[in-house]
Amino acid sequence: MRNREKYVVLSLEQHLFFARIMKEHSLFLAAGFPPCDASLAKDALRFKDEFEKLLLQAVKLSNGIIRRNVLCSGEILTEFTECAEKQTQQLTGIDIDECITDLEKQLTCGENVNISPELVRHTCKLNQNALQLLDGLIRFNEKILNEVLGCRMFTLNYPLLIEHILREAKLYRSFIRQLESGGNFDCQTIRQTEQFWNRIMMEHAFFIRGLLDPTEHDLIETSDAFAKDFAHLLAKCRETNDKILTDNGSLETTKKFRDFKAAGTKGIECCEIRSIILPLLADHVLREANHYIRLLCDPG
């Protein structure tokens, strides 16, 4: 891709994936605060609303622009997303703009796209808005984490989940900063990508294990096994100095974990699994697995 095209396409693809992730992170935070911290819940919902606006803008700019492998990867939407949003809205009472999902379902990919100067300007503005929002979200999460670790605040969200949210927000911010500075975030080595996302997948397994009802013995054991598998893969990544890892098992393990998450999302939506997992959280971690699989299969 030409430089201008690459700047626009990569920027929009990042927003389509990460802006949705950030708005959902904010929703999960808001849903986990007790009544005494209602003001923090309102702050979290403001971030949810702002990232929702950012995502909507990105969707409107992306039609006919983004690549086919991204559109078809399942990282933007899954077959469960629409239902998960409706159920989560009913369960939490938190509004979700379902029109965004409808628009995303209509997105088309682009080949040999013509990037106009106007689209470049809109993309630049979108990136600047994202950076400002991310700076605020990161500060907000750091404040919450410090209060929780200092035993001055209670939340239903694990401290590890707050750290997890921070890691992903900082990664998103680093990608947009590199694009805005003329750099190329996809110069990350496969090893760096695997280090980051194997850790994320391991943490997903921890969260799933911890949010399942204690009676779900088989699912808990399976989650625990995946956590150990990704911990092993993460250790292998850390031990090697190679920029490219081959036959290390990340792709195969993530595909299996993706299938487990998909079955779990379906089970939660159909009320067949005992847990305290919101349907949208189940779909959220499934999309992240799809994103990682796409990066492993086609890092460019």
> In degrees to the nearest 10, what's the CA dihedral of 285, 287, 293, 299?
-120
Burial of 113 (0-12, 13-18, 19+ CB in 10 A): middle
| Model pLDDT for residues 235-280, shown as the tens digit of each residue | 988 777 655 555 579 999 999 999 999 999 999 999 999 999 999 9
Q: Is the dihedral of CA 126, 102, 43, 197 positive or negative?
A: negative
- The domain locations on the chain are 1-72+109-168+178-184, 188-300
CA neighbor of 75 nearest in space, from 252, 288, 262, 254: 288
* Amino acid letter, residue 100: I
The residue whose two tokens read 């990919």 is: 109
pLDDT of residue 257: 98
**Residue 297 and residue 209: Cα distance in Å, rounded?**
27
Paired residues of 212 in beta bridges:
275
- Per CATH, 1-72+109-168+178-184 and 188-300 having the same topology is answered yes
State whether residue 286 is helix, strand or coil.
helix
Mean pLDDT of the 119-128 span: 97
CATH of the structural domain 188-300, one choice from 3.40.1030.10, 1.20.1260.120, 1.25.10.10, 3.40.718.10: 1.20.1260.120
CATH of domain 1-72+109-168+178-184: 1.20.1260.120
**DSSP structural state of residue 157:** S
**Residue 29 and residue 150: Cα distance in Å, rounded?**
18
CA neighbor of 218 nearest in space, from 251, 264, 252: 264
pLDDT of residue 259: 98
The residue whose two tokens read 């779990």 is: 264
| Model pLDDT for residues 128-147, shown as the tens digit of each residue | 999 999 999 999 999 999 99
